[in-house]
Structure 1
Amino acid sequence: MGSMLRSEEMTLCQLFLQSEAAYACVSELGELGLVQFRDLNPDVNAFQRKFVNEIRRCEEMERKLRFLEKEIRKDGIPMLDTGDNPDAPAPREMIDLEATFEKLENEMKEVNANSEALKKNFLELTELKHILRKTQTFFDEAEFHHTQALHDPSLAEESVGLLGEETQRAGQALRLGFVAGVILRERIPAFERMLWRACRGNVFLRQAEIESPLEDPVTGDQVYKSVFIIFFQGDQLKSRVKKICEGFRATLYPCPETQAERREMAIGVMTRIEDLNTVLGQTGDHRHRVLVAAAKNIKVWFIKVRKIKAIYHTLNMFNLDVTQKCLIAECWCPVDDLDRIQQALRRGTEQSGSSVPSILNRMITKQEPPTYNRTNKLTQGFQAIVDAYGVASYREINPAPYTIITFPFLFAVMFGDMGHGMIMFLFALFLVLREKELAAKKIDDEIFKTFFGGRYIILLMGLFSVYTGFIYNDIFSKSLNLFGSQWRAKEANYSDPLLKQVARLQLGANDSFLGSPYPVGLDPVWQLAENKLQFMNSFKMKTSIILGVGQMFFGLSLSFVNHRYFKKPLNIFCEFVPQMIFLFCMFGYLVILVFKKWLTFFTKPAPSLLIGTINMFLFQYPEENSDEPKLLYTHQKGLQGFLVVMAVLCVPWMLFVKPFYMRYKFQHGQMPVLNPTPSLSSYKNKRSDIRRSQISDIDAVYFDACIEPYPISVFLQE
């Protein structure tokens, strides 16, 4: 319980790791999650650190995995996520992972390139197929109108009137030049206007829409296109037409002039399309097989690569000793978990096969340690709420255990509905009872993650809302008559005929009779009163003030406990005492007035607390002969004036006493001075008489570390 009320006791430790064992030791410490390393190279550029090449390799592997993940998502293949947490691979396994990712990336790039080329060829053949069909229709229509015109002059005049130049030019199609192609459907109007203006009306354009959409081989989008054929005369118009087609990104295709040649080309195009369909199907199957195989392991690969990257990033924060054989690190860790950290270091040393053990020494420092609050699945949500507002200082009382009760209760005071609270409670209870099953599904939805992460918070909020809703006698904005209403009308004021005529009557305590108080909560008769809203708002407002002021007093009490724990009597006198006096003189006194009003003015009109509080600070009070409500008690003026003066005096007490007192002590040399770091010569004198020549250089560093902890700078100076 003590670890929940206060943050964990932390200590600064110094680690001496053999170079070949450093990777495995950091991996074990990372899995443990109880160590926070300090950066011992703050002035070294990130690109000049020792393991920068390894980090670059990890980033390259991450890039390849993201490429594979993108391709897997594009094909809609589910990625297997078993929830496993694999250990960080050994450094030598990086080569195998790199080779695997390189092979998959190259294979996917090759498949994509081949697929894109095949799709582009398929698109071209499909467009050519539509061109041959549509142009044949154009020529058949032109031939039909020309034949009819030759046999019947009246039809010739009619066709000229109806079709204008179309029939005449179509009749001369074999003698005119033409180009055929495909263009996006939405560009047709602008394309037609540009042709008319640039060629001065000396070209003839026919176009027809392609009914089915075509797939863009680059983007994969479905686009709608149209087939067009343009007739012209002369090479100058031909070059102008081609430039316009190029500007509108229209694709031109060769189209034979005779019907036999067009039919023969169409047969060849259909044969090639069938062959391409077969090849595209085989290519898609191969791509699918590769991606399905990658989807089974990609989650595990991501975890492994990120762990490797995190380990090398941590190793970059270490220092090398003068022999280049030992890595020196500093870290913060909980005192209660030093044994577990030592075991993790031993496991890492054994895995690496090193013969020299890793050494962990506690250091004496004046630096303030980081705050570490141990949490579980119940407290982590409330701890996150507390940390969102501010993290407590080292070894201060942790507000999270108290928040487990106060936060849901204060929410319920505002919410206060049995029906809605029960819905919240049942929903959160479902999440709690099925938490293992739901966590294993790895649902990737942001809203669900929010609800699932705060399931215990919602559970308690719903439970407390049911309780406060019972106190308010409110369920889905309706009341329950569980114990029978205790309100009885006085016959003198409310006769039976009057009660039958008036649907609603305002309930006043002086106009009603209470047989006995309602057992729990509010009497359901308030549901029928016209002044229900006024009464409920007043009641809830006063209750909120009482609870809020009580929580402020509780917070100040925790600060008093903190000052005593850290042995700071100056803070008690200059912070806690004036804050408590100020709070009581303003808000604590208001709470007392609330209870006074509830107990005293039960059957008669009471003065307004809001107006009374304003008058208290303005020193304005109603005269004795005025119609305004009188004071709550005798000698109220004198007491309230005294409280206001005390509250005003507390402001300079809080702001100026402590700074001026500390300044006075500093000027007179009474402030404590931090002990200077001992010199290197004094540290060397404390070493053992064992001659360093009898041991190796690396063992000498370990031997010095075992004698007495000392800052890293001493070893670097040597």
Structure 2
Amino acid sequence: MGSFLRSEEMVLCEVFVQPEAAYSTVAELGESGILQFRDMNDELNAFQRRFIAEVKTANEIERKLCFMESEIAKEGILSQNLEELPKAPNSKEISKLEAHLEKTEGDLKEACRSLTVLTSNFVELSELKHVLEKTQELFAEQENSPNFNEARALNEEDQGAANTSRSQLNFIAGVIPRERIPGFEKMLWRISKGNIFLRQTDIEEAIVDPKTGNEMKKNVFVAFFQGDQLKLRIKKVCSGFRASIYQCPRKTEERIEVVKGVQTRIADLTLVLSQTKDLKHRLLMEIASKHQGWMVQAKKLKAIYHTLNMFNVDVTNKCFIGQCWVPKIFLQQVKDILATKSKDSGSSVPSFLSVITTSEVPPTYHRTNKFTKAFQIVINAYGMASYRELNPALYSTITFPFLFGVMFGDCGHGLILTLFAAWMVIYEKKLAKSGGGEIWNIFFGGRYLILLMGIFSIYTGLIYNDAFSKSFNIFGSSWKSPYNSTTLLKNPQLTLDPAFEESYAQYPYPFGFDPVWQLAPANKIIFQNSFKMKLSIIIGVLHMIFGVCLSVGNHIYYEKKINIILQFIPQVLFLTLLFLYMVVLMVLKWVLYNAASPIISSTRCAPSVLITFINMMMFKAMEYDKENCSPTMYPYQEEIQMVLVLVALLCIPFLLLGKPLYILCTRSSMKKHVRLEGRGSAGCAGKGDGKGKGPSGDG
């Protein structure tokens, strides 16, 4: 708990590592996670570092693994989760891993390339089969069309002198994506001025795009035309609209023969394609079983060489020198790691560590466990505490879930939250091994935080007597109606006056809200929201005062006691004289005024705390328009409030100008002191030089 109250004490160390033990030493230090290295080569760019070749190798390994991961994702294969993370590979394992990944990538690329080619051939044959089958229907419809016969008759009259081959219409058949049909038709009409007859029909089954793997809807088209110039134009339009053109025989018998040949080729290709898919799937399954481990090793390898690039090399090139921040409690552990790795590498000169003195502000390091880690992450999201400053995460372990419960306040939803968090806590070892994605990791990491939030939500839900917007009637209501049933039925707007003794049982409800408030549609929301708002203000003000009081510990620890006078005291006075006083007024109003009390202290005479606070800040006299009612809650209230506001206003100049003026005066006095010291030493030096006396001459 001591380390969680404040961050760990850090020391700056200089590490001297032998080259043959550098890799293994940094790898073991990285696994421990107990130190932070500093970059000693700021003046060098990434390409001037010593281990740039090794970093490129690690990047290449990571690139190969990313390619494999993308192929695994396309197949929908789940990677095998790791029970424990593997350590960084040693120098011998790096070359083996690189060679194995290069071979695996080559096999996978070859399988993907073969599969793409086979799929492309299969798609082309499938489209050709559809073209041959659909053109028979289109030819039959076109030849029976009256427009086609009229156009052919007119064409024969205009070119009666031409031979038979020129009078016969040509055609181009192919396949085009269905969404491009409207534009395709318009473009053919424009380039031919209406001299092209286009017929198209849908392909019922979806066709897979060999490049993307997505399914596409396509149509078969046949364009009838005459002339070689028009043929070239149609081919250009087909190319622009990404339409595939296929050779289609004119005669029916020839088309039937071609269809039979295409079907035979499709059957053979389907068999080969199935075997290729099975080969790729087996290869990906083998990769998926080891992919996560390889990726962890690649990232660790890359991190090790990035860290080694932060080291400096001595003039003899026989030692790596690095600087790092180490928590003081882990110094011996770091020394043991250096000694062990140096011994394992067989180096004649051992690696060692030395602590150096520095005036730099160390980084902040908090030791956390599985319970406190989530709270520390929440605090760090708002701001990192300064070095050795009081850690707000310690207090947020209770305040954060409690304030959530005050805001949430529902037993039913809190119970669901508690059960969900308790399930994660009970089976945390089993669930830690399951990779559920980023969202799941967030929930699982904050399981203890969610558990406390659920428990406090149940507690405040019991106080609010609210469970899924329903109330519990455990103790029975403390309110009773003084009217009989006939009066209640005849008067639906009848008001229950709390001033009558018959309206209540002379005792408060034992715990939380009285369930009878559920039957008060007119003022239920007004009462509950007023209570929750006042409760939130009270807790918020106390929370702010507590946070300001914690700053005293930091001022004393950093030996800046002047901040207590210039910051803490004005802040506390400002908060207590204004906002804590408002809380006191709320409590006084609850205590002093009662419905059954005399007129002057009855609830109808209770002044508004909000109006009282506004009049207090504006130095306005309090007025009350009700008879026999006092505008104040206690004697000399207006005078006391005026004194409180004046003192609070006097705190504002201290808060705004106290610390800047103190820093300005301190700097001026320091500069003056330095100038006086300079003049004194110069005079002594001159005196000693001239007369042989003084500090210089006597020496």
Into which bin does the TM-score normalised by the smaller protein fall? Answer: 0.7 to 0.9
User: Are 1:460 and 2:460 an aligned pair?
Assistant: no
Identity %: 51
CA distance 1:142–1:349, shift in 2 (3 Å): same
CA distance 1:237–1:522, shift in 2 (3 Å): closer
CA distance 1:474–1:629, shift in 2 (3 Å): farther
CA distance in structure 1 between the partners assigned to 2:239 and 2:447 by the alignment? 62
SS at match of 2:320: strand
Post-superposition CA distance 1:576-626 (Å, at most 9, x none): 111111111111211221222121122313111101111111111135898
Partner of 2:634: 633
Partner of 1:49: 49
Partner of 1:542: 534
- For structure 2, list consecutive stretches of 5 or more residues without a partner in the other structure: 157-163, 596-601, 675-699
- Contact 1:185/1:224, CA 8 A, preserved across alignment: yes
SS at match of 1:226: strand
Per-residue deviation, 1:504: 6.4
Per-residue deviation, 1:216: 1.8
Following superposition of structure 1 onto structure 2, how do residues 63-102 of structure 1 map, counting pairs within 5 Å?
A: 63-102=63-102
CA distance 1:58–1:535, shift in 2 (3 Å): same
The one-letter code of the counterpart of 1:524 is P
Post-superposition CA distance 1:289-345 (Å, at most 9, x none): 211111111110000000000011111111111111111111111111222222222
- Contact 2:155/2:167, CA 8 A, preserved across alignment: no
Match of 2:519 among 528, 531, 540: 528
- Contact 2:624/2:630, CA 8 A, preserved across alignment: no
Partner of 1:32: 32
CA distance 1:596–1:57, shift in 2 (3 Å): same
The one-letter code of the counterpart of 1:657 is G
Per-residue deviation, 1:552: 1.4
CA distance 1:671–1:378, shift in 2 (3 Å): farther
The one-letter code of the counterpart of 2:416 is I
SS at match of 1:597: helix
Match of 1:293 among 283, 286, 297: 286
Partner of 2:440: 448
Per-residue deviation, 1:386: 1.2
The one-letter code of the counterpart of 1:293 is E
- Contact 2:122/2:269, CA 8 A, preserved across alignment: yes
CA distance in structure 2 between the partners assigned to 1:168 and 1:211 by the alignment? 36
Match of 1:579 among 556, 571, 581: 571
Per-residue deviation, 1:442: 1.2
Partner of 1:613: 613
User: Are 1:334 and 2:323 an aligned pair?
Assistant: no
User: Are 1:390 and 2:383 an aligned pair?
Assistant: yes
SS at match of 1:130: helix
- Contact 1:486/1:514, CA 8 A, preserved across alignment: yes
Partner of 2:347: 354
CA distance in structure 2 between the partners assigned to 1:255 and 1:42 by the alignment? 69
Per-residue deviation, 1:394: 1.0
Post-superposition CA distance 1:104-125 (Å, at most 9, x none): 2222222222222222222222
The one-letter code of the counterpart of 2:509 is Y
Per-residue deviation, 1:37: 0.9
CA distance 1:173–1:453, shift in 2 (3 Å): farther
Partner of 1:519: 510
CA distance in structure 2 between the partners assigned to 1:504 and 1:449 by the alignment? 54
Partner of 2:475: 483
Partner of 2:692: none
Partner of 1:555: 547
CA distance in structure 1 between the partners assigned to 2:50 and 2:214 by the alignment? 47
CA distance in structure 1 between the partners assigned to 2:241 and 2:327 by the alignment? 70
Per-residue deviation, 1:196: 3.7
SS at match of 2:96: helix
Post-superposition CA distance 1:165-206 (Å, at most 9, x none): 479999999944433333333333433343344334444444
SS at match of 2:649: helix
CA distance in structure 2 between the partners assigned to 1:247 and 1:624 by the alignment? 86
Following superposition of structure 1 onto structure 2, how do residues 208-607 of structure 1 map, counting pairs within 5 Å?
A: 208-444=201-437, 446-488=438-480, 498-499=487-488, 501-503=490-492, 506-511=495-500, 512-529=503-520, 530-603=522-595, 604=602, 605=604, 606-607=606-607
Q: TM-score, normalised by structure 2?
A: 0.87
CA distance in structure 2 between the partners assigned to 1:299 and 1:221 by the alignment? 28
Per-residue deviation, 1:266: 2.9
CA distance in structure 1 between the partners assigned to 2:259 and 2:644 by the alignment? 102
CA distance in structure 1 between the partners assigned to 2:90 and 2:415 by the alignment? 52
- Contact 1:160/1:168, CA 8 A, preserved across alignment: no
Post-superposition CA distance 1:224-254 (Å, at most 9, x none): 3333334444433333333333333332223
SS at match of 1:645: helix
The one-letter code of the counterpart of 2:650 is L
CA distance in structure 1 between the partners assigned to 2:375 and 2:495 by the alignment? 44
- For structure 1, list consecutive stretches of 5 or more residues without a partner in the other structure: 146-158, 674-718
The one-letter code of the counterpart of 1:34 is I
- Contact 1:15/1:360, CA 8 A, preserved across alignment: yes
Following superposition of structure 1 onto structure 2, how do residues 161-172 of structure 1 map, counting pairs within 5 Å?
A: 164-165=150-151
CA distance in structure 2 between the partners assigned to 1:204 and 1:291 by the alignment? 50
Per-residue deviation, 1:471: 2.1
CA distance 1:440–1:504, shift in 2 (3 Å): farther
- Contact 2:176/2:242, CA 8 A, preserved across alignment: yes
CA distance in structure 1 between the partners assigned to 2:214 and 2:153 by the alignment? 38
Per-residue deviation, 1:416: 1.9
Post-superposition CA distance 1:80-129 (Å, at most 9, x none): 11232111001332222221222122222222222222222222222222
CA distance in structure 2 between the partners assigned to 1:125 and 1:485 by the alignment? 82
Post-superposition CA distance 1:125-148 (Å, at most 9, x none): 2222233333344556678x6xxx
Q: How many positions carry a matched residue from both structures? A: 655
CA distance 1:483–1:167, shift in 2 (3 Å): farther
CA distance 1:258–1:618, shift in 2 (3 Å): closer
CA distance in structure 1 between the partners assigned to 2:137 and 2:464 by the alignment? 82
- Contact 2:138/2:200, CA 8 A, preserved across alignment: no
Post-superposition CA distance 1:389-439 (Å, at most 9, x none): 111111111111211111111121222222222222122111211222222
SS at match of 2:459: helix
Per-residue deviation, 1:635: 1.1
SS at match of 2:219: strand
CA distance in structure 2 between the partners assigned to 1:432 and 1:327 by the alignment? 45
Partner of 1:124: 124
- Contact 1:488/1:515, CA 8 A, preserved across alignment: no
Per-residue deviation, 1:280: 1.4
CA distance 1:332–1:583, shift in 2 (3 Å): same
Of 429-438 and 165-174, the range deviating more from structure 2: 165-174
- Contact 2:615/2:622, CA 8 A, preserved across alignment: no
The one-letter code of the counterpart of 1:304 is Q
The one-letter code of the counterpart of 1:450 is I
Post-superposition CA distance 1:524-557 (Å, at most 9, x none): 3333344333332332222222211111121122
Of 572-581 and 297-306, the range deviating more from structure 2: 572-581
CA distance 1:84–1:168, shift in 2 (3 Å): farther
CA distance in structure 2 between the partners assigned to 1:520 and 1:140 by the alignment? 88
- Contact 2:418/2:455, CA 8 A, preserved across alignment: yes
- Contact 1:504/1:528, CA 8 A, preserved across alignment: no
CA distance in structure 2 between the partners assigned to 1:449 and 1:519 by the alignment? 42
